[in-house]
A = this chain, B = another copy of it.
Amino acid sequence: MPLKRGRGGGTGPYRKERETIELSTALDQETLAARFGETRALTESLAEPLSAEDQTVQSMPDVSPTKWHRAHTSWFFETFLLAPRLSDYQPFHPAYGFLFNSYYEGVGARHARNERGLLSRPGIDDIASYRRHVNAAMGRLFDDALDEDGLALVELGINHEQQHQELLLMDIKHVLSCNPLDPAYGDLDVPAPSETPPLSWIRHPSGTMEIGHNGSTFSFDNESPRHRVYVRPFAMGRRPVTCGEWLAFIDDGGYHHSDLWLSDGWAAAIAGQWDSPLYWSRVDDEWHIFTLAGSRRLNPAEPVCHLSYYEADAYARWAGARLPTEAEWEVHAAAEAVDGNFLDPHVLHPSPISGDRSSPFGDVWQWTSSAYSPYPGFEPARGTVGEYNGKFMVSQYVLRGGCCATPQGHVRPTYRNFFPPAARWAFSGLRLAKDV
């Protein structure tokens, strides 16, 4: 007999009266309304080069169709702001709450994630109307002053939509990569091959440090609370690992020597017949990579990208180094400006490294050796938005730094991204660390 399961209820004998974690924001309503408009417009401009057919396909369960991202980000504002706060708000369509809820058990039943590609309807025109409907209603909501909680939810919704802008790009890249016609998302800039200087290291002393978010600016709940960690002396690579270095790993048999790999990684590599990062292929004895501009010859100076955790870990072992912990990464990045190659609609690919670039931000997300766990004293945000992060804190690994598909201004030193260790379709690379 299958179980009836639901959300809510269940109060344990020791369950403390939870102090509500108030959401807050340092931004005023005018600023947020402007950012809302910019963010919503950027999403549409990212989808614009894509046909109705492109926006419909789901190439694997982890990928969502473009039009789903456009709808789901609208659903977020509808569900958490418009429905509870705008009197007389009419939902655009009674079934959209079911279709475009991603994973919030607290909001009710939802359409199965792996069946998003079965939905030919609503079509992209319906979804454009849905977005306009939500935008207009948000405009009416902004006509009156929002309370602190409301403003914070707007800021959360903006950051949520920025995350989906990156996902939209990651996902459509995977969709297009499955097509033998070698399609392009758009006609993008492609830098010329260049030279990369040898890797140098930046040393950090040991000590009890603080990591985690503590400021008045926006952060996700998983970045809190700020807390102490003891860090041993270490050195961090000044730049990410490049495609040229990865070629040396391949040529040295990196994908064929079990002693370099975690046991699960070795099994994944055999099962998936991995012999290079995702989107690499050998054509006439030359390595090519599939990009959002289509397939082209590999540029050795680019940061290597589309790695699983297992590959990043194996490479580090081969190189006599290791992955950094997320605490090390954050200590390293804390003093740096958040400056790097983020989402530029003319590029959408990691940029070649030359000279002495040392920013830990941008180009590629960097795998850390840290499992994605709650920080000591972590409390998820109050209410259903508390499902945003906390319930995924198992069997995933933390990545740091943002990438070429991350919207400008979205990341910060304390930002924690996370994926399962076998995932490869994110713009994921690595930066080496070592004991000193």
Give chain A's interface residues, CB within 8 Å of chain B: 1-16, 51-57, 59, 67, 95, 98-99, 103, 105-106, 111, 115, 117-124, 175-176, 178-181, 183, 199, 208, 227-230, 232, 248-249, 252-266, 269-270, 273-275, 309-310, 313, 317-321, 325, 369-371, 373-374, 376-377, 387, 391-395, 421, 435
A317 to B394, CA, bound (A): 15
In contact, A178 and B394 (Cβ under 8 angstroms): no
A255 pairs with B120, CB closer than 8 A: no
A230-B230, A263-B392 given; name 11 further pairs at CB < 8 Å. A10-B254, A12-B248, A13-B319, A52-B56, A53-B53, A53-B56, A99-B181, A119-B179, A120-B176, A262-B391, A263-B391
| Selected contact of A121 from candidates B53, B264, B373, CB within 8 Å | B53
Contacts of A52 in B (CB 8 A): 51-53, 56, 123
The copy count of this chain in the complex is 4
Complex Cα distance, B55 from A53, in Å, reads 8
8 interchain residue pairs of minimum CB distance: A371-B371, A15-B320, A52-B52, A105-B258, A12-B318, A53-B120, A10-B257, A54-B120
B421 A121 Cβ-Cβ under 8 A: no
Inter-chain CA distance A325–B178, complex, in Å, is 43
A127 to chain B, nearest CB (A): 10
Query: Contacts A227-B232, A369-B373 given: A266-B105 contact, CB under 8 Å?
Result: yes
| Chain B, Cβ-Cβ closest to A234 | B376
A257 to B118, CA, bound (A): 29
Give Cα A256 to B2, complex, Å.
11
Tell me the bound Cα distance from A1 to B257 in angstroms.
Answer: 17
Is B318 in contact with A53, judged by CB distance below 8 angstroms? no
Selected A-B contacts with CB under 8 Å, 15 pairs:
A3-B269, A10-B257, A12-B252, A12-B319, A52-B53, A53-B123, A55-B120, A95-B180, A103-B263, A106-B258, A117-B117, A119-B181, A230-B230, A264-B395, A394-B421
In the assembly, what is the distance between CA of A371 and CA of B354, in Å? Answer: 37
A57 to B68, CA, bound (A): 14
Q: Known interface pairs A14-B321, A52-B52, A394-B309. Does A256 touch B5 (Cβ–Cβ under 8 Å)? A: yes
Query: Contact check: which of B55, B105, B273, B318 meets A259 at CB < 8 Å?
Result: B105
Nearest Cβ in chain B — how far from A318, in angstroms?
Answer: 4
Residues of B within 8 A of A254 (CB): 10
**Pair B263/A118 contact, Cβ less than 8 Å:** no
Q: Are B371 and A373 in contact (CB under 8 A)?
A: yes
Asked whether A256 and B3 contact (CB < 8 A) given A15-B320, A122-B181, A319-B13, the answer is yes
Cβ–Cβ < 8 Å partners of A395 in chain B: 264, 395, 421
Taking a contact as CB atoms under 8 Å apart, the answer to whether B57 and A255 are in contact is no
How many angstroms between the C-alpha atoms of A313 and B260 in the bound complex? 33
A118 contacts B178, CB within 8 Å?
yes
- Interchain nearest-CB distance for A253 vs B (Å): 5
Are A261 and B13 interface neighbours, CB within 8 A? no
| A266: chain B residues within 8 A (beta carbon) | 5, 105, 391
Q: Which residues of B contact A261 (CB under 8 A)?
A: 391
A120 with B8: CB separation less than 8 A: no
Q: Say whether A99 contacts B180, CB under 8 Å.
A: yes
Q: Is the CB of A260 within 8 A of B10?
A: yes
Which one of A115, A264, A273 has the greatest number of beta carbons of chain B within 10 Å?
A264
How far, in angstroms, from A55 to B435 measured CA to CA in the complex? 47
Q: Specify the chain B residue showing the minimal Cβ separation from A257.
A: B10
Closest to A325 in B: B376
Beta-carbon contact of B3 and A1 below 8 Å: no
Q: How far is the CB of A251 from chain B (nearest CB, A)?
A: 10
Q: Select which of B6, B16, B121 is within 8 A of A258 by beta carbon.
A: B6
Residues of B within 8 A of A16 (CB): 320
Are A56 and B120 within 8 A (Cβ)?
Answer: yes
Query: Which listed residue (B12, B121, B310) contacts A183, Cβ 8 A?
Result: B121
Please, how many angstroms separate the alpha-carbon atoms of A59 and B7 in the complex?
Answer: 30
Kindly list chain B residues whose C-beta atoms are within 8 Å of the C-beta of A230.
208, 228-230
- Least CB distance, A346 to chain B, in whole angstroms: 22
Determine the chain B residues whose CB is within 8 A of the CB of A265 once the complex forms.
Answer: 394
